[in-house]
Amino acid sequence: MSKRPKLSSIGVDLGDLEAKPASGAKVPAFHEQPHALVTDGTHVKDKAVNMTVYLMPDDHKRLKIMAVEHETTIQALVMDGLDILLERNGQQPLTRWKPRKKPRS
């Protein structure tokens, strides 16, 4: 069994990260969160298609770090990347659904 790498070994300095109010609360994984509503009142999981992407561990780490740096999720980064790819090919961006909660102020 291999040990997890230390944050310092992947170039993350915890001193550089800024704590935000209520950010210490554990956020449930995407699949454990309550269903988000689509604009027509149905739930996202009733309409959306699940897709799996396999990444090499180093690439996954880079995405996690980028998500933290931009205060977002890997899901949001992937959706934004797909929007760019679709735009380059003359397509409309991906359909987004209503967020579950109002944004924090």
DSSP character string of 6-48: PGGGGT--GGG----TTTTSPPPPGGGSPPPBPTTSSBHHHH-
Distance CA 56, CA 15 (A): 27
pLDDT at 61: 95
Q: Domain span at residue 66? A: 53-99
Total number of domains in the chain:
1
Distance CA 54, CA 49 (A): 17
- For residue 97, name the pLDDT band (cuts at 50, 70, 90): confident
Distance CA 36, CA 17 (A): 29
pLDDT at 8: 60
Whether 75 maps to a domain, the answer reads yes
Residue 98 has pLDDT above 90, yes or no: no
pLDDT tens sequence across 19-58: 566 555 665 655 555 655 556 666 677 777 888 999 999 9
Residue 86 has pLDDT above 60, yes or no: yes
Whether 17 maps to a domain, the answer reads no
- Three-state DSSP class for 53? coil
Enter the tokens of residue 92. 């409309």
Whether 92 maps to a domain, the answer reads yes
Whether 8 maps to a domain, the answer reads no
Mean pLDDT of 67-85: 90
Whether 30 maps to a domain, the answer reads no
Whether 85 maps to a domain, the answer reads yes
- For residue 96, name the pLDDT band (cuts at 50, 70, 90): confident
Whether 19 maps to a domain, the answer reads no
Whether 88 maps to a domain, the answer reads yes
pTM of structure = 0.53
Task: Look over the chain and give the mean of its residue pLDDT values, rounded to a whole number.
Answer: 75
